Amino acid sequence: MTPIELPAPSVTFRDFTWKTKWIFVGFAFVALWQAVRFLDREWVSRWTLGMVLVALLVPFLFTLLFPFLTRDRDDARPLCMPSLQECFVEWAIAVGLVITILVLAISLQDVVAHYRPGGPSTSHPAVLNPFATRTKTYLWLLTSFTLAPLAEEIFFRGFFYNAFRRRMPIAVAMVLQSLIFGLAHIRGATDIAITCVMGLVLTCIYEWRKTLLTPILVHAGINLVGALAVLAAMSAQAERPAIGILGNHGDTECIVREVVPNSPAVEAGILVGDRILTFDGQPVSSIQDFAALAGKRRVGEAIVLTLVRDGELMEADVVLKRAADLRP
């Protein structure tokens, strides 16, 4: 009688194992990923659409494939895929979680704003840089709720967290993985803290549901709401008067960090590194002050900026344009 061979049982990410060396390789990639943020912004702004597409896709493809390519080969069982019914159940749970998380986040933001008015807040890069090209911005937003949640959940929750929890207590693994997740999205101390908390929440969801599908859907839902908020902010900014300079929100002075090509700032001869002292006679102490004063003026209005360049006091005559006209 011929024995019947049963198919090999399938496995989930929770059953995967990785050698310790791959954890260090993954962490080195995160560090390299962050090093790219220190590239010259003016040089990056001149990238073609193809270069931007490569810069977006390569890191996501790496994080998507790395856990599969580096897992131990001793276990060749196939990866378990959720059924259609399981997908529907996890989607319904994810919708409820997204709504709950957003309500809590908005409530917390209101509390912080009440006790710390004018305190630090986070902003999407597309809002901080309203002069990025429409195509590049839309491409960035599209990946934020499609490819990014899939790749990041597989890499951070699927790979890092599962590798850590096999080597240390679950609570420690949760915190350590969330810290790495936060540092991978570094844009300032506030952003790191918020992203770390979000990473911890997503890890708890993963530990609860025992499937990566739920945190992927929650991550995608939150990013989708964020993308829609960014589009709304971009639409609101379109008619605002603009000069075409960008700065860092953490600066204690109004330092020009980037000058938008073909903008009024270029026509007025403003350069990166200039320190703006006054806006039509009114003192400015930060890029936020500058933006607030510019927002109160009208398109086509001429204003005078007093600035310091290489220790020399200068004046620049600028005519305000619509922000939408500076975004090709």
Residues in the chain: 328
310 sits in the region (left: phi over 0; alpha: psi -120 to 50; else beta) called left
Give the CA-trace dihedral at 58, 59, 60, 66, to 10 degrees.
100
pLDDT at 173: 96
The domain boundary residue, chosen from 171, 203, 236 = 236
Residue 54 lies in a domain: yes
Domains: count for the chain = 2
Q: Which domain holds residue 49?
A: 13-236
CATH label of the domain that carries residue 263: 2.30.42.10
Note whether 24 and 57 are same-domain residues.
yes
| Domain termination residue (choose one: 236, 263, 295) | 236
User: What pLDDT was estimated at residue 43?
Assistant: 64
**Burial (0-12, 13-18, 19+ Cβ within 10 Å), 315:** exposed
Write down which residue in 236, 263, 281 finishes a domain: 236
Same domain, 158 and 256: no
Question: For position 183, what pLDDT does the model report?
Answer: 85
Instruction: Please check whether residues 119 and 254 belong to one and the same domain.
Output: no
Query: Tell me, what's the pLDDT at 141?
Result: 87
Judge if 146 and 258 occupy the same domain.
Answer: no
Are residues 164 and 32 part of one domain? yes
* pLDDT of amino acid 4: 45
- The pLDDT assigned to 44 comes to 63
Q: What is the pLDDT of residue 5?
A: 45
pLDDT (tens digit, 0 to 9) for every residue of the chain, 328 residues total? 444 443 445 677 888 899 999 999 999 998 888 777 666 665 666 667 677 777 778 888 999 999 999 998 766 667 778 889 999 999 999 999 999 999 988 887 666 555 554 444 444 444 445 545 667 778 888 898 999 999 999 999 999 999 999 999 999 999 999 999 988 876 666 777 888 999 999 999 999 999 999 999 999 999 999 889 888 877 777 777 778 887 776 678 888 887 877 788 888 888 888 888 888 888 888 888 888 888 788 888 888 888 888 888 888 888 888 776 666 5
Q: What is the pLDDT of residue 53?
A: 76
Both tokens assigned to 86: 């399981």
Structure tokens at 108: 């917390």
Q: Are 213 and 87 in contact (CB under 8 A)?
A: yes
Would residue 3 count as lying in a domain?
no
Predicted local distance difference test score (pLDDT) of residue 132: 55
Residue 76: per-residue pLDDT = 64
- State whether 133 and 254 are in the same domain: no
207 and 320 both lie in a single domain: no
User: pLDDT at position 24, please?
Assistant: 95
Any domain includes 267: yes
**Is the domain of 250 the same as that of 232?**
no
Domain-located, residue 5: no
**The 3-state secondary structure of the chain, one letter per residue:** CCCCCCCCCCECHHHCCCCHHHHHHHHHHHHHHHHHHHCCHHHHCCCCHHHHHHHHHHHHHHHHHHHHHHCCCCCCCCECCCCHHHHHHHHHHHHHHHHHHHHHHHHHHHHHHHHCCCCCCCCCHHHHCCCCCHHHHHHHHHHHCCHHHHHHHHHHHHHHHHHHHCCCCHHHHHHHHHHHHHHCCCCCHHHHHHHHHHHHHHHHHHHHHCCCHHHHHHHHHHHHHHHHHHHHHHHHHCCCEECCEECCCCCCCCECCEECCCCHHHHCCCCCCCEEEEECCEECCCHHHHHHHHHCCCCCCEEEEEEEECCEEEEEEEECEEHHHHCC
